[in-house]
Amino acid sequence: MNDVVHRWLDQVLAPYVERARIMHDMERVLTEYHTLRLRTDMFTYDDGRMLLLLLLDGTLPVPIRGQVYHIPVHVWIPRAYPAEAPIVYVAPTQNMVVCRGSCVAPDGRVRLPYMDAWERKPEGTSLTELLRECQTVFHLEPPVMAKRPEPAPAPSPDAHGAPARPPKASSSAVPAAPSAAAPSRPPKPAPPPAEEKRAAPTATPPRPVNPGLAELQARLHAKLSRSVAETRDAMGEATVQLERLCGDLERGRPAMDDEMQRLRVVRDLCIVDAERLDATIQQAQQQTAELQGRADPDVDHMLCPTSLVESQLLQLMAEDLALEDTLYQLGRALYADQLPLDRFLKHARILSRDQFMKRALAQKIAAGLGWPTATPTPAPHSSSARE
């Protein structure tokens, strides 16, 4: 099997299950039988189903009475092959007729014992063995025979009842040898007399209609009529649904246009937000790069003072916070009636003056160090504000 046939067979065997088995069997058959060829054709089952099947078409050489005859056959490969046996038919030509035998039906269907064994046990069967079995059976019982030639019609009698004779040839004429390209024509018979009357052919009676065939046709017509009516009703319902759907779509067009305008506005806003986001991301990336480019800070310098001035500043801030807490507790004692007002004012005035001096000195030291300074805001001394 060449590559072209192999690729074609691989495409044709797509509906089949056992494609590898069929490919192997076809290769063996075509190698052994050169008179067979592969093609596809529609096969009609007894129940009316039609399927596109693989077909082995050609002849089988069979020795009969000392001569080799080529018996035309059709070997159909079913879809369930090899679980189902092949279907073999004798396909006579125009000049042949089927001979009914023990294994050949009048319609040409071949049924062998090997096929019955195949259906009972598909394992171990072979298409090549089936063809050899067909050759053996055809040798014993030839499945076809040549048609007998039809007898030539008798010449019409003349008026006296005797057949018309052809005119005699002239004695002086010399017969010429017939040519292979154009054979000599026989002389035309003499026309019958004018007074001869031909008998009118009798009309043959019409063949009666088969009752079974008429009933089958009536059933088929009724089934087709019901199918056509159901299809027409289904198409009518589908048309109504489509018209309703088209009406809904036409009515919803203004809403769709309005929604489209809103979507365009949202799209424009999204584009603006995306541009802003891109700018923010670029700015963040630039700041990240700048921060990464800076040197690592000194942890000791950030947590502990490194000079006497910084130690003094740290001490002033601690005292400021301590004075802040003292003022807060004085306020709570005043509101709880645990401290008279005059004593509260006296201690608050002294502590506030001391806190002011410490804050002023702290700002002076921070300015001398070059640190940013902020104007101190008065701290709330009420318990509600603190809480």
Tell me what pLDDT residue 101 has.
84
Does the structure show a pLDDT above 80 at 149? no
Q: What is the mean pLDDT of residues 326-344?
A: 91
Task: Tell me the CATH number at 114.
Answer: 3.10.110.10
Residue 190 domain-assigned (yes or no) = no
Q: What is the mean pLDDT of residues 139-153?
A: 79
* Nearest residue to 381 (alpha-carbon basis) of 329, 306, 320: 329
Tell me what pLDDT residue 77 has.
92
Residue 184 domain-assigned (yes or no) = no
Share the mean pLDDT of the chain.
80
Residue with the bigger pLDDT between 275 and 294: it is: 275
Sign of CA dihedral 358, 359, 360, 364: positive
Q: Distance of CA 248 to CAs 110, 234, 257, 261, 293, Å? A: 63, 21, 14, 20, 64
Does the structure show a pLDDT above 50 at 169? no
Residue 55 domain-assigned (yes or no) = yes
Residue with the bigger pLDDT between 156 and 386: it is: 156
Cα 330 to Cα 36: distance, rounded to the nearest angstrom = 121
Place of tokens 């740290």: 314
Tell me what pLDDT residue 75 has.
93
Pick from 146, 172, 199: which residue ends a domain?
146
Tell me what pLDDT residue 61 has.
92
Tell me what pLDDT residue 121 has.
82
Place of tokens 């002033």: 316
Query: Ramachandran region of residue 240, left (φ > 0), alpha (ψ -120 to 50) or beta?
Result: alpha
Cα 111 to Cα 141: distance, rounded to the nearest angstrom = 13
The two tokens of residue 328 are 């807060």
Tell me what pLDDT residue 382 has.
42
Residue 14 domain-assigned (yes or no) = yes
Cα 42 to Cα 54: distance, rounded to the nearest angstrom = 9
Type of residue numbered 249: L
pTM (predicted TM-score) = 0.41
Tell me what pLDDT residue 76 has.
93
Q: Distance of CA 294 to CAs 278, 280, 282, Å? A: 25, 21, 19
Residue with the bigger pLDDT between 173 and 40: it is: 40
Query: How many domains does the chain divide into?
Result: 2
Pick from 146, 175, 210: which residue ends a domain?
146
Q: What residues have CB less than 8 Å from 146, skipping those under 6 apart?
A: 95, 96, 97
Residues spanned by the domain of 70: 3-146
Least confident of 54-58, 193-197, 303-307: 193-197
Q: What is the mean pLDDT of residues 313-339?
A: 91
Residue 206 domain-assigned (yes or no) = no
Type of residue numbered 73: V
Residue 79 domain-assigned (yes or no) = yes
Pick from 129, 146, 163: which residue ends a domain?
146
Q: What is the mean pLDDT of residues 17-28?
A: 90
DSSP letters for 152-194: PPPPPB-TTSSBPPPPPPPTT--PPPPPSSSPPPPPPPPPPPT
Does the structure show a pLDDT above 90 at 231? yes
Cα 362 to Cα 321: distance, rounded to the nearest angstrom = 12
Residue 120 domain-assigned (yes or no) = yes
Tell me what pLDDT residue 301 has.
65
* Nearest residue to 64 (alpha-carbon basis) of 138, 163, 9, 172: 138
Residue 63 domain-assigned (yes or no) = yes
What 3-state DSSP class applies to 9? helix
Does the structure show a pLDDT above 80 at 102? yes
What 3-state DSSP class applies to 89? strand
* Nearest residue to 355 (alpha-carbon basis) of 326, 382, 329: 326
Tell me what pLDDT residue 282 has.
93
What 3-state DSSP class applies to 202? coil
Tell me what pLDDT residue 153 has.
59
Q: Distance of CA 242 to CAs 133, 174, 236, 378, Å? A: 61, 89, 10, 80
Residue with the bigger pLDDT between 362 and 297: it is: 362
Percent of the chain at pLDDT above 70? Answer: 78
- Place 354 in a pLDDT band, splitting at 50, 70 and 90: very high
What 3-state DSSP class applies to 18? coil
Q: What is the mean pLDDT of residues 229-258?
A: 90
